[in-house]
A and B are shown apart, each in its own frame.
Chain A
Amino acid sequence: MTHLGYLIAGWSIGLGTLAVYGWSVARRAKAAARHVPADRRRWMSAND
């Protein structure tokens, strides 16, 4: 396979960034949820 280095770099940066970003968003959300009362954690239940 030609250009193997470029291929590995492109795909791993692409999928890796998305995975790290997704993980960090989920983690930050979990941390933030601790400071919000249970009935206001979702827009559906917060009702405004």
Chain B
Amino acid sequence: MSSVGAASPQTAQAADYSVSSRGTRLLGVFILVSVPVLLLFAFVFTEADDTMEDAVRLLYIHVPVAVLTYVAFSLTAVGSVAYLWKRSRWWDTVAHAAAEVGVVFCGLTLVTGSIWGRPTWNTWWEWGDVRLVTTLVLFLVFVGYLAFRSVPAEPETRAKRAAVIGIIGAINIPIVNRSVEWWENNTLHQQSSLTDGQLEDLTLFTWFLGTVVLGAIFVWLLITRFRLAWLEEEIDRHGLVTALEERRAESHVGVEAAVGGSVVGGFQDNPGGPQ
């Protein structure tokens, strides 16, 4: 193969490292187009609320993100159960990816909720509110889950134990919810004002649009994170073998070079090339 011809496969290979696929690229285009549309609806087309005034516009991101948080953690629970049942690496990876995306969404739920609460309830944080405290505990449980997953361990052991943590974490959600509800027995969340049918169609539509757009972001993140988790585990499982082989090859060449009495440069690059 000529040196001129070698250049183009190499650039093609460099582009190949990306984990995007036709699906995620299309989704990415949809997200880039739809986020500005969502912003238009949230800030321009919809009216301010009678009581919350313009702070209501924060809810167009807060509510979809909160809903998706619970979707993500449910997915982790489903993946964990399915892993223990089928013992398939695919489900374990789903559980892992969903947990990390879920923690990001959960953090955003807390932050956007807090920013909304300040002008509306006149406080950044309200200990008496069931959903707030439940969400915070949930956040910490799954931060622990991710902390566990980041510890180097034998893949099967880690998958099994993580599945147990994921399932128990999910079981804990209703318990925390009940206990906090009894604890203060009040909620500042305006359940009625948002669901009593007083909403305008446009407000409802914006909510729907927000869920679709953030749902698309969620799916994109989930797929990409899944692919990253898959690659990380490949490196975990086979990386040591590959590294050992590389070391062996290096020392082999090194010995040859020493015997031959000349230093051969550049033996370590292009292992996949000819020779």
Contact = CB atoms under 8 A, between A and B. Distances in A.
Interface of A: 1-4, 6-7, 9-11, 13-15, 17-18, 21-22, 25-26, 28-36, 38, 40-43, 46, 48
A6 B54 CA distance: 10
Nearest to A14: B61
A13 B53 contact: no
A1 to B, nearest CB: 5
A22 B220 contact: yes
Interface of B: 16-20, 35, 39, 42-43, 48, 53-55, 57-58, 61-62, 65, 89-90, 93, 104, 107-108, 111-112, 115-116, 118-119, 217, 220-221, 224-225, 227-228, 230-232, 234-235, 238-239, 242
Nearest to A35: B235
Nearest to A48: B89
B238 A40 contact: yes
B224 A33 contact: no
Contact of A17 (B108, B115, B220, B228): B108
7 contacts: A1-B43, A3-B53, A13-B108, A21-B104, A30-B18, A36-B231, A41-B234
A6 B116 contact: yes
Give the 4 A-B CB pairs with smallest separation, nearest first. A32-B231, A29-B228, A29-B19, A10-B115
Contacts of A41: 19, 227, 230-231, 234
Contacts, number: 114
A34 B231 CA distance: 9
A31 B116 CA distance: 38
Which DSSP category, helix, strand, loop or mixed, fits chain B's interface?
A: helix
B19 A2 contact: no
B235 A36 contact: yes
Given A11-B61, A14-B108, A40-B238, A25 B221 contact: yes
A33 B217 contact: no
Contact of B48 (A2, A9, A35): A2
Contacts of A38: 16
Contacts of B228: 25, 28-29, 32
B93 A43 contact: yes
A32 B58 contact: no
A1 B42 CA distance: 12
Contacts of B104: 17-18, 21
A10 B112 contact: yes
A7 B55 contact: yes
A10 B61 contact: yes
Given A13-B111, A30-B18, A33-B19, A6 B235 contact: no
Contacts of A33: 16-19, 231
